Amino acid sequence: MFVLRFTQTLLKDMKITPAEDAHGPSLFSWHANITKLNNRKHIIFVNDSSRLSVIIDGIRTAQLPKLIGIFSTTLLEYLKSEGIESKLIDTYMKDGQEKITICKTNDRSVLGTMKEITLFSTSIDRIDRNYESMKWLNRVIRKPINYNEPINVFKDEIEKSYL
């Protein structure tokens, strides 16, 4: 089950009330925030356990179903572009999409990483659909995960869980 932990700003923008704090494996927990990059709204998702980041755009106010759909599609395509086995990705996505819960944020360390990703993102000309900017971001942020690259930490965690 995916647990999406929205910041207050994103909760207001999506016009939703969060559920009570949900618990689950940190591999399925994602913090999310809304920010403006290049004069466009972007939503940044950061995985709690690996600090893997996914950035999406094209979402307007109160479009929660569309946000969840674009997040799932973008995450799936991004993980495939990183060379993770399709079987692992499909199992992870199936398990995550069984139930999706929206909660408030609960980890200041993840929020700090999200702020850092936002700062790095402002230097990118545009967030492109070929995932090059996300690949770059997921190799830059290292401190909270023992100076490992987030994509490698995510690969290790998903392999540990499903192999």
Looking at residue 122, its pLDDT comes to 77
Give me the pLDDT at residue 127, please: 63
In this prediction, residue 55 carries a pLDDT of: 93
Note the pLDDT of residue 29.
96
- Burial pattern 91-116, b for ≥16 Cβ within 10 A else e, equals ebeebbeeebbbbebebeebbebbeb
Per-residue confidence (pLDDT) for residue 129, from 0 to 100: 62
- Low-confidence residues of the chain: pLDDT under 50: none
The model carries a pTM of: 0.93
- What is the pLDDT at residue 130? 66
The pLDDT tens digits of the residues spanning 78-95 come to 999 999 999 999 999 999
Residue 104: its pLDDT value, please?
95
Q: Which fold has domain 2-155?
A: Nucleotidyltransferase; domain 5 (3.30.420)
